[in-house]
Structure 1
Amino acid sequence: MFNEKPQATTTQDFRPFPYCDQIIIAILLVIIIAVPLYFDVHIHSVFDLSKITILYVLTLAMLAIWSIKTILQSSMPASLPGGNQQHLSSFNLSPLSKAQPLSLPIVAFLFVSGLSTISSINPYLSLVGTYKRYGGFISTIVYVSLFFVIVNFIDKRRLSSLLDVIIITASAASVYGILQYFGLDLYHWSTSFGYGIRVSSTFGHPAFFSAFLIMVIPLVLIKIFSCKEWFKAYPYIGILALLLIAFYYTRTRASFLGLIVSNLFFFSLIGKKNLLADKTKTIVTISIMIGISILFNVNDKASVVGRFKGSINPVHLNNKSGEKTENLQSKHLAEQDLLAQHTPFDGSTQYPRLPARQHRSDGSDKQDHYWDVDLAHKLEGTTLTRFLQYLTSLRIIYDYPILGIGPDTLGMIYPQYVAKLHREMNEQRGFENQNRIHSDLINITVSTGLLGLGVYVWFAFAYGRMVWKGCKKADGSDKILIIGLCTGCLAYFVQNQFSFGHIPIITLFWFLVAMSVIACLPVRQAGRPKQFKRLNPFKQFKRFNGNLAKYIFCGITICLMILLITLSLYRYKADIYFEHGRRSLGQYKADIPTQDGQKPSTIIPINEAIQSLETAVKLNPLALNYRNVLSGIYLKMAAIGISKDPESIMEGLPDNFSHEQTTMWFANAIDGAETVQKLYPRDYHSAFTLGQAYHLLDKMSDEDMSKNAIKYYKRTAMLHPFKLEYRNKLARLYAEKGRYEDAIHELKEAKSIAPSNQAPYLNLAKVFMNDGERYEEAEATLLEFIKKNPDSKISDIYRLLSYIYLKTAKWEKVLIQSEKIIQLDQGDLEAHKYAIMANSRLKRFEDARNLCNRILDLTGSGSNTYSKYAKDMLEVLSGK
């Protein structure tokens, strides 16, 4: 297969170092199998850290082995085959020369990424990558190193076997994905991707799984059309059907586009000769691809085509289509109520508004619509989300044009820019923070600037030129091989313009690029090794000095590889402890007897969870996520410690809530959050933790801590402007300090962020009531919620309206609201009481008596304030 021509023996075939090459090739095979298939449920980053650790450890191990081989070869006499002159030259130049014409754009991309990392808004984050994404500069170095290892140690003879390994790996993942669809998965994942069951196999997300499959499908086509005997091709046709079925179970639109474009590319360039060489094989292959595609896309709204149709629907953006947020009111209303205080000062949360819509040139008041708003009106769902991402990215690129914001730092800056976009569109809505733009071109430009984009285009052009030249010189199976490998890369490129890369698919991409280089290499590059004569003493001395520098370089490389491998394993171990601590926080309701032998009580083994989280931080002290979670736990412990009866909340652990221990919880929370703020100044989670900590300290201490609380609450709102909880907290503190106008401002911002959430409306109404009994404005606020959300039946809204009408003696309205509450909850005694009062005032005594009897029926023989009230009212009404 692939026109295997006799190749001259290279120096790698000579002894005494055959095992280095064999070990490196074996590691490459392990990488392409393990990275897609391996995951670990014992860590928190199940599908991400597990894969990147495997990739790091194995790639760094290959680089160390390569360095060892180079050192050993350098010490050999030059007259021996495989001696130092040729192989030291090979170590330094062969990978670059073999990778031509891609070596220059790849090295340039490394250089630009390095500069972007140095100038990043957070250099450390750009170096190591953000949690669960790991797209930092180190990862880029690892991917590029993997590429050069493949180019240097894999020859054309091994390409066929390497293709088989990749196809078998994809087949195993597909079988697992299909089993997931039928509910036969060993694990029950808690993540839902919508649109029915969308399988993710061993990749953690359907988009990543589908991207991997569309990159492997062209490799299967290579095998099908390269096989001369039909019985060798038909097993691959069966695998093709398997991969397509698994693909359509993912229901992913970006990969669907990649599949269509890449397959059109493959069948357009493969040529009539190859297609007509075996007509039956070609007809069966194309029929299977078309048949499966039709079968999975007819009359199914959740199919890929159905998802495309569902994305183009009119949707209004005038503060009515915000994403649904959780009901923050519920039974924890008291904790939601007005949690923030804010004294205006320089840098307040009055964000700059971009220019308003321009008026028409004819002087009319009607505003022009911007093209982006008009288009947004026609989109919804994830399509709308991605469109808004693209618009936000353009604003980031405008501010960071040359080197971008730095790799993997988007999550630090995205909320502020998307908030500006929404304000420009005269709209406020909730949104999820993003750490990736769903377009590779835009993501590259945001991260590494226009320089990075230029290198990206250069690389794509150089690759296309290399493939074109290779196809012109090749024929038969070699041409099919080159076209198929290029098709796999094209599938990655197309789907990545509407999604983003993940560890397994990026790894496969670099494999395919390296394999393309090997397939396009002229045969003459695999030349016969030169025979070297023994050098004279002067030349030997000169060679020794040159080798010494290479010994030092290779030695440093080996030490660095060992260090990075160790750090990778420490990071992995840290995530094990983090996940153990996280699970310990959620599982505990264990019945354990109390110390005095009384009945079992429910306790929380919080100490074990905290110890695990602390260990995770020790193992990976710069991990943003670990420190934020741990600081949050410290803060919760401190909040329990200052509650009225902490022992009743966490019985069995009284020592955790002594005055000294509570003080320590506060100190740990503040120290941890301040450390995060120093390392990651744009992190809003730690700023919010500091605001909450100082807010609680302000309540329990004589010292005024409100200024610090305000400062950090305001910083949180600045870093993440459209987060409802942050506004509510700030408004509550303002209300507690009697700064009602500031509280009103924040709550108005909060209700514009989430117009479908009742919490800011309730809190705003309460502020109006507390600020000089402004009942009319409180009533208007609650009626505004009802008008905007006519289908929402919220008892708390009706109850507060009843109270307002009670205070303003609007008894008919009190009765109406009380009856609405009773319709929702017939056992609501407070609503019955309000209704009795209203009926009594309206002289509807019989209705009042019936409601009193109803309260007595609901309370039964029990005695409480409501039953006592009902009895008293019956006595009062007995004479009426």
Structure 2
Amino acid sequence: MENNKLPAAPETSGSGLYCDRVIIAILFVVIVTTTLYFDIHIYSVFDLSKITVLYILTFTILAVWSIKTIISCQRKKCINSTHLSSESAQKGVDVEHNAWYKARPLRLPIIVLVLACGLSTILSINPYLSLVGTYKRYGGFISTIVYVSLFFAIVNFIDRRRISLLMSVIIFTAGIASVYGILQHFGIDYYHWSMFSGYGTRVIGTFGHPAFFSAFITMTIPLILVKIFSSLNFRYSTFLYIGILALVTVAFYYTRTRASFLGLIISSLFFFSLVGKKNLLASKTKTIVVISILVGISVYFNVNNESSVIARFTGDIRPESLDNNFGNETSSLQDVDLTRQELSPPSVPLDGIVDTDYGLRQHSPKLPPDYMKDRNGQASGWYVNLIHRLTGSSKPRALLYLTGLSIIHDYPILGIGPDTLSMIYYRYLSDICKKTNEYVGTEKQTRMHNAFLDATVSGGLVGLGVYLWFIFAFARMIWIGSKSANETDKILIIGLCAGCLAYFVQNQFSFGHIPIITLFWFLAAMSVVVCSKSYSSSSIVKNQEDLPSNIIHNSTVRNKNLNRYLVIAISGIVVCLMILLVALSMYRYKADYYFKRGLRLHSNSKIDEAIQSFETVVSLNPFALSYSHILNDVYLKMAKIAIIKGRVGNTKNMPGNYTHEQVTSWLTNAINGAEKVQRLYPGDYSSASTLGQAYYFLDKISDKDMSAEAIKHFKRAIMLQPLQFEYRNTLAQLYADKGLYNDAINEINNAKRVLPGDPAAYINLAKVHMRDNKRYGDAEAVLLEFISKYPDHKIKDIYKLLCDVYFKTTKWGKALSQLEKVIKIDQEDLEAYKLAIIANIKLKRYDNVRNLCNRLLDLTGSQNNSYNKYAKEILGALPDK
């Protein structure tokens, strides 16, 4: 039996023991803070706050571990100088590699995982983004190193005796988060989150999203079951854990998350199936109580439709009889909010072509059949009919998966690099949308919502192979460990495995978040610690045991003398690097604080102060895309407002509070900022659009023709993001301003394909026809096409523009018919009443004119405005009855 144990550690020195205690304490703090901590003073309340705490604590662990290594090297020097026995020296060598030995079942897959991730980062489509991760996701290579470091720290410093305590900390942390989530469900929350109010019954806890909250609970429930079934009899602690089980299960169902629901079912079945009849029947009352709680709460919440997870499943499959009505659903709030990355202040539309969102984008009608066919004239893809049958969030999820497969086809070996999906997602999604004639759920994605696809997209087939290897190695370790363990350890091993299984299952439909991934690596490391007794370490030192003791001693001394100073130097570098990384993490945290401050100032119309705050943000963290985007958008917004107030493009004397120099300065700053972003992220479509808009505005206020530059950058933005309606819309306006009407019409028709149900495209196209040699007939046809497709719409701008067409062609009866529809939609539209009066005068319907004038006077009341004066003038000029 002695050969089956890890080498015993020699007595730890006082300093080394202190380092151990510090690291162990920090490990306990990590799991608590990443779960419960969030900061309302920064914009990324639940993401940056958690990752910053995780980084700081992990870097501290690595620094303390390095200090301990330096101390250990000095101690070994003393061991060698005093000529201790070879056996004691060997033990001193072995204890320094305790984590390496104990992690033997998983160490090779994990090391290969780190190497593959590092190589994928180096060869990434954007290496910097793959290194640090995207804003609010932070899934880059540095995060991978942090999680792996935590894994080896737990394996090295958390022994079997502390596993139970660590599990209790995880369980009570989940209980606290669940209490907060249940209070949120009943509207009791000190922080009134905008997202919380939007989800209704779906609670977010301390995680920021229901999917993340539920995933953490699902991974924790098996640990609670371990605590309950580890003891044969009822104890006070058993009652406590049963109460926590009921608490977290209730909180779980308030999240209404489907992926975690599957994870809960599969992990629970796994636990109860493998824990054994003997353990379940050892205390029948306990088993009945536990199963009654899980089943009873599940039945109650799934019968209640408002909190039913099953109802969310059944709502996503379209019955056969409804096939002709597909395309009228949008993606779920979960999908939208999981992927929402860009933040921009509201834009101000320019005269002429409109860019208003009328809320019809989810109503996507069929495109012409020729648009759905490939070059051979056949329907593009076996998946078209399948996509059409889906509804709810299943449809955008299917489009996402198809997009991932397209990316894998082009990047098969090492993938695109970690956390870079958003850089090329739209380019591939647009092709899938064209083939399937589906434009529902086209929000920007940063994850594939499937672990296998995500691993393959980011790391290629190499990444997928390593991922599968890790799963196999973990399953093999659990199998070997559970076979040779006693009953208590067997329950513990099965519970830890069930928690990891819940993670793997939910990750096939969602993705991990900071506290979830942290918990997974904790559970994996704890599994290694519990299973380590099943792996013999005798083979590790077998060769050395066969050598004479003097050879062992001499070789050990010789090697350690050669390597000691190198180890000390590396450890010292690690300490300095950790201090630097902690400082950089604080800079990033500070930047987000100023970012939220800038947004608050901007919302209060304190633009100058907001710009200063945003400039501070960019100086603190110049590599964050979102920060640069916002600052550039504010510059553009200010320039746009000034141009609108000026109403004249080429004057250098801007009216109001804005001078020509100010506007030029804003646009120059936007151009400089966008060019910096383009150098860092050549695939960023937002900065390309910023350049196009900035040059477009410069073209309006300067004597120099900037249209060629604007067109070039707009075309690049459209190439990078083909599904962005606004880019095509603005480019069409630029073409129209330059008299390139055919190009403008072509671009608007492309925009109609992107958002077939958006009335802005029809309005813009009609306006271009009206400006192009007064093609009123074509403009009328475009507007009537929209009305025929959407007869129940309530977009009065469509009717008003059609009325304008009829006014210009003196079709007064038709014009009056459109105005009646406008007034029916908005009974207080004064302009519509005025135009209706004019049309009735042309038709010599004076009674109607008199009624409309009186109605106009009633609406204006005592106001002495132009409409009031016009109505009085007309009444005064009307002939007597």
Give the alignment's TM-score, normalised by structure 1.
Answer: 0.89
Task: Report the residue type matching 1:733 in the other structure.
Answer: L
Matched, 1:411 2:418: no
Residue correspondence of structure 1 range 165-180 to structure 2 within 5 A:
165-180=169-184
Q: Work out the CA distance in 1 between the residues paired with 2:102 and 2:843.
A: 94
Q: Work out the CA distance in 1 between the residues paired with 2:279 and 2:764.
A: 72
Are the counterparts in 2 of residues 43 and 579 from structure 1 also a CA contact under 8 Å? yes
Q: Residue in 2 aligned with 1:356?
A: 373
Match of 1:497 among 476, 490, 508: 508
Q: Work out the CA distance in 2 between the residues paired with 1:542 and 1:270.
A: 48
Q: Residue in 2 aligned with 1:718?
A: 719
Residue correspondence of structure 1 range 73-472 to structure 2 within 5 A:
73-76=72-75, 77-78=78-79, 86-87=91-92, 89-91=94-96, 93-192=97-196, 196-231=200-235, 232-314=237-319, 321=328, 323=330, 334-335=350-351, 337=353, 356=373, 370-428=381-439, 431-472=442-483
Q: 1:849 to 1:58 in 2, by over 3 A?
A: same
Residue correspondence of structure 1 range 612-623 to structure 2 within 5 A:
612-623=613-624
Are the counterparts in 2 of residues 64 and 561 from structure 1 also a CA contact under 8 Å? yes
What secondary structure is seen at the aligned counterpart in 2 of 1:767?
helix
Q: Work out the CA distance in 2 between the residues paired with 1:813 and 1:24.
A: 80
Q: Residue in 1 aligned with 2:585?
A: 568
Q: Work out the CA distance in 2 between the residues paired with 1:236 and 1:491.
A: 20
What secondary structure is seen at the aligned counterpart in 2 of 1:237?
helix
Are the counterparts in 1 of residues 129 and 140 from structure 2 also a CA contact under 8 Å? yes
Matched, 1:544 2:572: no
Q: 1:272 to 1:760 in 2, by over 3 A?
A: same
Q: Work out the CA distance in 2 between the residues paired with 1:829 and 1:127.
A: 58
Q: Work out the CA distance in 2 between the residues paired with 1:668 and 1:132.
A: 26
Q: CA deviation at 1:861?
A: 5.2
Are the counterparts in 2 of residues 358 and 368 from structure 1 also a CA contact under 8 Å? no
Q: Work out the CA distance in 1 between the residues paired with 2:727 and 2:555.
A: 75
Cα-to-partner distance string for 1:414-448 (whole Å, 9 max, x where unaligned): 11111010111234456211011111111110000
Q: Work out the CA distance in 1 between the residues paired with 2:258 and 2:635.
A: 43
| Percent sequence identity over aligned pairs | 57
Q: Work out the CA distance in 1 between the residues paired with 2:818 and 2:608.
A: 47
Cα-to-partner distance string for 1:751-781 (whole Å, 9 max, x where unaligned): 3322332212111111111111111211111
Are the counterparts in 1 of residues 480 and 534 from structure 2 also a CA contact under 8 Å? no
Q: Residue in 2 aligned with 1:508?
A: 519
Q: 1:195 to 1:670 in 2, by over 3 A?
A: closer
What secondary structure is seen at the aligned counterpart in 2 of 1:75?
helix
Are the counterparts in 2 of residues 430 and 754 from structure 1 also a CA contact under 8 Å? no
Q: CA deviation at 1:50?
A: 0.7
Q: 1:486 to 1:319 in 2, by over 3 A?
A: closer
Q: 1:559 to 1:841 in 2, by over 3 A?
A: same
Q: 1:633 to 1:478 in 2, by over 3 A?
A: same
Mean Cα deviation higher: 515-524 or 551-560: 515-524
Q: CA deviation at 1:793?
A: 1.2
Q: CA deviation at 1:302?
A: 4.4
Q: CA deviation at 1:114?
A: 0.7
Q: CA deviation at 1:333?
A: 5.9
Are the counterparts in 1 of residues 671 and 691 from structure 2 also a CA contact under 8 Å? yes
Give the structure with the higher percent helix.
2
Mean Cα deviation higher: 734-743 or 813-822: 813-822
Mean Cα deviation higher: 253-262 or 227-236: 227-236
Matched, 1:43 2:42: yes
Cα-to-partner distance string for 1:844-866 (whole Å, 9 max, x where unaligned): 33222322333344344555544
Q: 1:487 to 1:558 in 2, by over 3 A?
A: same
What secondary structure is seen at the aligned counterpart in 1 of 2:389?
coil
Q: 1:280 to 1:533 in 2, by over 3 A?
A: farther
Q: Residue in 1 aligned with 2:779?
A: 778
Mean Cα deviation higher: 191-200 or 202-211: 191-200
Are the counterparts in 2 of residues 196 and 302 from structure 1 also a CA contact under 8 Å? no
Q: Work out the CA distance in 1 between the residues paired with 2:324 and 2:691.
A: 34
What is the number of equivalent residue pairs in this alignment? 832
Q: Work out the CA distance in 1 between the residues paired with 2:553 and 2:799.
A: 100
Q: 1:546 to 1:583 in 2, by over 3 A?
A: same
Task: Report the residue type matching 2:596 in the other structure.
Answer: E
Q: Residue in 1 aligned with 2:575?
A: 558
Are the counterparts in 2 of residues 410 and 436 from structure 1 also a CA contact under 8 Å? yes
Q: Residue in 2 aligned with 1:19?
A: 18
Q: CA deviation at 1:312?
A: 1.2
Are the counterparts in 1 of residues 481 and 534 from structure 2 also a CA contact under 8 Å? no
Q: 1:431 to 1:644 in 2, by over 3 A?
A: same
Q: 1:655 to 1:675 in 2, by over 3 A?
A: farther
Are the counterparts in 2 of residues 322 and 430 from structure 1 also a CA contact under 8 Å? no
Q: Residue in 2 aligned with 1:579?
A: 596
Q: CA deviation at 1:523?
A: 6.8
Q: 1:434 to 1:845 in 2, by over 3 A?
A: same
Task: Report the residue type matching 1:445 in the other structure.
Answer: T
Q: Work out the CA distance in 1 between the residues paired with 2:487 and 2:264.
A: 24
Q: Work out the CA distance in 2 between the residues paired with 1:318 and 1:742.
A: 33
Matched, 1:796 2:807: no
Task: Report the residue type matching 1:811 in the other structure.
Answer: W
Q: 1:731 to 1:655 in 2, by over 3 A?
A: closer
Q: Work out the CA distance in 2 between the residues paired with 1:139 and 1:331.
A: 36
Are the counterparts in 1 of residues 230 and 488 from structure 2 also a CA contact under 8 Å? yes
Cα-to-partner distance string for 1:114-135 (whole Å, 9 max, x where unaligned): 1110111100000000000000
Cα-to-partner distance string for 1:165-206 (whole Å, 9 max, x where unaligned): 110111111111111111111100011586632111000000
Q: Work out the CA distance in 1 between the residues paired with 2:767 and 2:427.
A: 30
What secondary structure is seen at the aligned counterpart in 2 of 1:617?
helix
Extract unaligned runs of 5+ from structure 1.
341-352, 360-364, 589-603, 647-653
Task: Report the residue type matching 1:570 in the other structure.
Answer: Y
Are the counterparts in 1 of residues 372 and 434 from structure 2 also a CA contact under 8 Å? no
Q: 1:677 to 1:368 in 2, by over 3 A?
A: closer
Cα-to-partner distance string for 1:797-817 (whole Å, 9 max, x where unaligned): 111111111222222211211
What secondary structure is seen at the aligned counterpart in 1 of 2:44?
coil
Q: 1:659 to 1:85 in 2, by over 3 A?
A: farther
Q: 1:496 to 1:160 in 2, by over 3 A?
A: same
Q: Residue in 2 aligned with 1:346?
A: none
Cα-to-partner distance string for 1:497-553 (whole Å, 9 max, x where unaligned): 000000000000000000111111117869999999999999756632221111112
Are the counterparts in 2 of residues 170 and 213 from structure 1 also a CA contact under 8 Å? yes
Q: Work out the CA distance in 2 between the residues paired with 1:682 and 1:781.
A: 35
Extract unaligned runs of 5+ from structure 2.
337-343, 357-369, 648-654
Q: Work out the CA distance in 2 between the residues paired with 1:584 and 1:484.
A: 50
Q: CA deviation at 1:607?
A: 2.5
Mean Cα deviation higher: 405-414 or 755-764: 755-764
Q: Work out the CA distance in 1 between the residues paired with 2:120 and 2:417.
A: 5
Are the counterparts in 1 of residues 426 and 444 from structure 2 also a CA contact under 8 Å? yes
Q: Residue in 1 aligned with 2:767?
A: 766
Cα-to-partner distance string for 1:382-425 (whole Å, 9 max, x where unaligned): 12111111011000000000000000000011111110101112
Task: Report the residue type matching 1:851 in the other structure.
Answer: L
Q: Residue in 2 aligned with 1:599?
A: none
